[in-house]
């Protein structure tokens, strides 16, 4: 929690003035019981009407000034808390975006969403209430006790005993409640995950009639969250009744002993009323303090969870030598001959986790500048893992990956990735227009360049049918079919004119005719990028310069289509299976 408090530094003035105005309000509030005592003893007791009027005017003035002070304090506290949350959320998002794919895989999307929304909101509420009440409530409590001492030292011992007992109760509640609230947030992560999975996979759930199973799974996780919230809530809820019981019991003692002293002439009736008012003020403030402590417990628990994200260091760090970390030129790594850079895998192995099995084992092959390399294999053979190492989404466990004869770990990640155009397995489009999505590849691209990329990607028909480049794209591209999304993501990668083009199973939703036309268009784009085509059907890679066949993370064969049909059993089996599917 200490780490994230630095986001309050720009709001030092508000952090000082908000409690100061609250303390000023509290001072006026503490003076009012003395004015009331004066009204009773002097105004009413001596039948002095003018004294009553003067005291009433003083009370109205104290109330008005206190109201102005309270509004000013709350305005400043809200401003500081909002600014704090805004800065925290921005930096948290930036930090998450700086994390590597490995970090994000380990954290999980739902956990990050919860931290950047719910947890940040909890810390914002905690900061706001802290600035407004954390100094005011103790000040009123101890101030009321001191004022009680000025009236009668014996009666004030009741105040002292009540305050000591209440602080012990509050301390015990905090000790047991904070761990419970952390567990509540962990359960919330699980509910968020299930909600996200069900909303994104609703079509699959309905297709397999798994609605009841998913409902039961959600209800189970929701019940766990409810049970944990109930435990934390019961503990928090115990504060108010314990506070009321203790204070009311103290008020009974106070009135009883005060009445005895009034009868003996030690105290006046006005003094007893003032003591009663001070005890009531303590009651109100301790209730506020109890509720504040519940909020602060939640804020601290949420703040610790946010801080955990900040403590995570990216698994992949950029090369510090910016002179060494450079691509061939600003045009995406294309040399003077119009060819992309060469890529070399030297005895590469990869593990996604330290204790996990190897996803890749001793992978070695070289792609010459401007070559097209096909990568084929069964599901889970490691095809995507191979191409994800080129832009350094993951770091190798052993060996090295060279781009243009330099280890990818020696490049600046931004410069390296600026030379790579990637079409991922899952076609991702963002809300906006078609042109907005295509310009992710090059924000300065002209409409002519966008149309050329669209033509090469075989989606001119798609764009024209939707109304042109300025036609809207719904979130996740919901208003496009799977094949249309794939072709638009291919066009987005081509707009960049990358030196290395990676097509990661990007034609899986395309028919054979469109797939063939796309491959023909890629040969006529005006330059020769180094292309990696990941596929599960041989027709997508059979015209590649060389094909790498993978099985269970190992290389089973490297060669042309004809060579592999003769020498590689795995490739021959894939080819025959594809032929049978096409025949059917």
d(CA 390, CA 495): 20
pLDDT digits (tens, 9 = 90+) for 111-164: 888 889 888 999 999 999 999 888 888 888 888 888 888 888 777 788 778 778
- Average pLDDT over all residues of the chain: 85
pLDDT digits (tens, 9 = 90+) for 537-568: 888 888 899 999 999 999 999 999 999 998 89
d(CA 347, CA 330): 30
Q: What's the rounded mean pLDDT across residues 424-429?
A: 86
d(CA 92, CA 98): 10
d(CA 359, CA 105): 15
Both tokens of residue 334?
A: 């294309």
Residue 507: band (very low, low, confident or very high) from pLDDT cuts 50, 70, 90: confident
**Of 244-248, 498-502, 520-524, where does the model show the most confidence?**
498-502
Which of 466-478 are b and which e, b meaning 16 or more Cβ less than 10 Å from the residue's Cβ? beebeeebeeebe
Percent of the residues in the chain that have a pLDDT greater than 70, as a whole number: 95
Q: Do domains 3-311 and 427-497 have the same CATH topology?
A: no
Predicted pLDDT at 335: 59
pLDDT digits (tens, 9 = 90+) for 370-383: 899 999 988 888 99
pTM of the model: 0.73
Neighbours of 142 (CB within 10 A): 15
d(CA 420, CA 59): 74
4 exposure class (CB count in 10 Å sphere: 0-12, 13-18, 19+): buried
Q: What is the CATH number of domain 3-311?
A: 1.20.1560.10
Residue 319: band (very low, low, confident or very high) from pLDDT cuts 50, 70, 90: low
Predicted pLDDT at 192: 82
Residue 390: band (very low, low, confident or very high) from pLDDT cuts 50, 70, 90: very high
Residue 329: band (very low, low, confident or very high) from pLDDT cuts 50, 70, 90: very low
> Is 70 exceeded by the pLDDT of residue 337?
no
- The order of strands in the sheet holding 358-367 is 358-367, 343-351, 398-403, 406-407
Both tokens of residue 219?
A: 């209800």
Q: What is the CATH number of domain 427-497?
A: 3.40.50.300
523 exposure class (CB count in 10 Å sphere: 0-12, 13-18, 19+): exposed
Q: What's the rounded mean pLDDT across residues 408-413?
A: 87
Helix H or strand E segment including 240 = helix 239-264
Q: What's the rounded mean pLDDT across residues 332-336?
A: 58
Q: Angle at Cα 410 formed by Cα 407 and Cα 414, nearest 5°?
A: 110
Alpha-carbon 329 to chain mean position: 35
Neighbours of 63 (CB within 10 A): 14
> Is 80 exceeded by the pLDDT of residue 332?
no
| Candidate from 384-388, 435-439, 513-517 with smallest mean pLDDT | 513-517
d(CA 24, CA 164): 25
Residue 263: band (very low, low, confident or very high) from pLDDT cuts 50, 70, 90: confident
> Is 50 exceeded by the pLDDT of residue 362?
yes
Q: What's the rounded mean pLDDT across residues 447-458?
A: 91
Q: Which residue has the higher pLDDT, 148 or 470?
A: 470
The CB-side HSE value for 397 (13 A sphere, CA atoms) comes to 18
Non-local CB neighbours of 257 within 8 Å, separated by 6+ positions: 154, 155, 158
Beta strands in 330-439, from DSSP E residues, in sequence order: 343-351, 358-367, 372-377, 398-403, 406-407, 420-423, 432-433
Q: For the chain, give every domain's residue range.
A: 3-311, 332-419+499-552, 427-497
Fold of the CATH domain 332-419+499-552? Rossmann fold (3.40.50)
């Amino acid at each position: 929690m200490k780490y994230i408090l630095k986001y309050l530094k720009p709001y030092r003035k508000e952090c000082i003035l908000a409690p100061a105005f609250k303390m000023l309000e509290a001072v006026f509030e503490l003076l009012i019981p003395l004015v009331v005592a004066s009204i009773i003893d002097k105004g009413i007791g001596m039948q002095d009407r003018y004294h009553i009027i003067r005291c009433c005017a003083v009370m109205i003035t104290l109330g008005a000034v206190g109201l102005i002070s309270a509004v000013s304090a709350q305005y400043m506290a809200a401003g500081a808390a909002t600014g704090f949350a805004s800065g925290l959320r921005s930096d948290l998002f930036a930090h998450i975006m700086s994390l590597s794919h490995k970090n994000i895989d380990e954290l999980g999307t739902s956990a990050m969403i919860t931290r950047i929304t719910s947890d940040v909101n909890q810390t914002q509420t905690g900061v706001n209430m802290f600035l407004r009440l954390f100094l005011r409530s103790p000040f009123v409590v101890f101030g009321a006790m001191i004022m009680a001492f000025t009236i009668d030292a014996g009666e004030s011992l009741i105040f002292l005993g009540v305050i000591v007992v209440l602080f012990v109760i509050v301390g015990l509640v905090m000790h047991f409640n904070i761990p419970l609230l952390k567990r509540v947030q962990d359960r919330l992560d699980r509910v968020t995950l299930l909600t996200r999975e069900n909303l994104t996979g609703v079509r699959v759930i309905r297709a397999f009639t798994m609605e009841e199973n998913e409902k039961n799974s959600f209800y189970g996780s929701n019940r766990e969250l409810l049970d944990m919230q109930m435990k934390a809530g019961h503990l928090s809820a115990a504060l108010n009744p314990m506070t009321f019981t203790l204070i009311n019991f103290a008020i009974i003692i106070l009135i009883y002993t005060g009445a005895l002293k009034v009868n003996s002439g030690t105290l006046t009736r006005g003094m007893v009323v003032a003591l009663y008012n001070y005890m009531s003020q303590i009651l109100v403030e301790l209730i506020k303090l109890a509720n504040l402590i519940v909020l602060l417990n939640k804020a601290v628990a949420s703040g610790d969870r946010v801080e955990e994200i900040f403590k995570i260091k990216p698994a992949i760090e950029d090369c510090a030598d910016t002179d060494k970390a450079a691509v061939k030129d600003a045009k995406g790594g294309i040399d003077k001959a119009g060819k992309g850079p060469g890529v070399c895998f030297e005895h590469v192995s990869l593990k996604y986790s330290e204790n996990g099995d190897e996803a890749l084992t001793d992978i070695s092959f070289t792609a010459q500048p401007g070559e097209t390399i096909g990568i084929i294999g069964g599901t889970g053979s490691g095809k995507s893992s191979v191409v994800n190492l080129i832009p350094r989404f993951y770091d190798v466990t052993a060996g090295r990956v060279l781009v243009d004869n330099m280890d990818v770990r020696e490049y600046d990640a931004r410069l390296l990735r600026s030379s790579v155009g990637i079409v991922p397995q899952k076609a991702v489009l963002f809300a906006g227009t078609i042109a907005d999505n295509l310009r992710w590849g090059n924000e300065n691209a002209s409409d002519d360049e966008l149309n050329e990329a669209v033509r090469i990607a075989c989606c001119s028909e798609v764009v024209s049918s939707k109304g042109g480049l300025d036609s809207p794209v719904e979130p996740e591209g919901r208003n496009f079919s799977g094949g249309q999304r794939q072709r638009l993501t291919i066009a987005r990668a081509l707009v960049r004119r990358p030196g290395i083009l990676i097509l990661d199973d990007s034609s899986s939703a395309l028919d054979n005719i469109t797939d063939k036309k796309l491959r023909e268009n890629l040969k006529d784009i005006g330059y020769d990028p180094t292309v990696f085509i990941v596929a599960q059907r041989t027709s997508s890679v059979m015209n590649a310069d060389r094909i790498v066949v993978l099985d269970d993370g190992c290389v089973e064969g490297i060669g042309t289509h004809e060579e592999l049909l003769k020498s590689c059993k795995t490739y021959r089996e894939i080819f025959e299976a594809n032929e049978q599917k096409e025949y059917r």
